[in-house]
A = this chain, B = another copy of it.
Amino acid sequence: MEYLDNLGQKAVAAKYELQKLSATDKNRALQAAASALTAATDRILSANDMDYETAAAGGMTAALLDRLKLTPERIESMAEGLRQIVELEDPAGTVMESFDRPNGLHIDKVRVPMGVIGIIYEARPNVTADAFGLCFKTGNAVILKGGKDAAHSNAAIVEVIREALSLEAVTADAVQLIEDNDRVVTTAFMRLKQYVDVLIPRGGAGLIRAVVENSTVPVIETGTGNCHIFVDEDADLEQAVPIIINAKTQRIGVCNACESLLIHEKIADRLLPVLGRALQEKKVEMRGDARVQELIPEAVAATEEDYGREYLDYIISMKTVSDVEEAIAHINRYNTRHSDAILTQNMEHAERFLQGVDSACVYVNVSTRFTDGFEFGFGAEIGISTQKLHARGPMGLKELTTYKYLIRGDGQIRG
**Interface contact A414-B369, CB-CB below 8 Å:** yes
Q: A16-B356, A216-B212, A404-B393 are in contact. Are A411 and B243 (CB under 8 A)?
A: yes
Chain B residues with CB under 8 Å of A107's CB are 376
Asked if A387 is at the interface (CB within 8 A of a chain B CB), the reply is yes
**Interface contact B361-A242, CB-CB below 8 Å:** no
Q: In the assembly, what is the distance between CA of A375 and CA of B412, in Å?
A: 12
Q: Among residues 348 to 404 in chain A, which have CB atoms less than 8 Å away from a CB atom of chain B?
A: 350, 354-356, 358-367, 369-370, 375-377, 387-390, 392-393, 402-404
**Interface contact A218-B367, CB-CB below 8 Å:** no
Chain B residues with CB under 8 Å of A193's CB are 212
Chain B residues with CB under 8 Å of A376's CB are 101, 107, 405
Digitize A79-102: 1 where CB-to-B-CB distance is under 8 Å, 0 elsewhere: 000000000000000000001010
Distance in angstroms from A343 CB to nearest chain B CB is 9
Asked if A186 is at the interface (CB within 8 A of a chain B CB), the reply is no
Query: Can you name the residue of chain B whose Cβ is closest to the Cβ of A333?
Result: B12
Asked if A198 is at the interface (CB within 8 A of a chain B CB), the reply is yes
| Number of identical monomers bound together in the oligomeric complex | 2
Q: A362-B407, A409-B364 are in contact. Are A402 and B414 (CB under 8 A)?
A: no
Q: A377-B101, A414-B370 are in contact. Are A364 and B408 (CB under 8 A)?
A: yes
Asked if A21 is at the interface (CB within 8 A of a chain B CB), the reply is no
* Cβ contact of A413, chosen from B236, B246, B362, B404, cutoff 8 A: B246
Distance in angstroms from A47 CB to nearest chain B CB is 34
Chain A residues at the B interface, C-beta cutoff of 8 Å = 16, 19-20, 99, 101, 105, 107, 114-115, 193, 197-198, 212-213, 216, 218-221, 236, 239, 242-243, 246-247, 250, 332, 350, 354-356, 358-367, 369-370, 375-377, 387-390, 392-393, 402-414
- Extra contacts, 13 of them, besides A218-B387, A363-B409, A389-B390 (Cβ < 8 A), are A16-B332, A19-B355, A101-B377, A105-B370, A105-B375, A115-B388, A220-B389, A246-B414, A361-B407, A362-B407, A365-B410, A366-B409, A370-B412
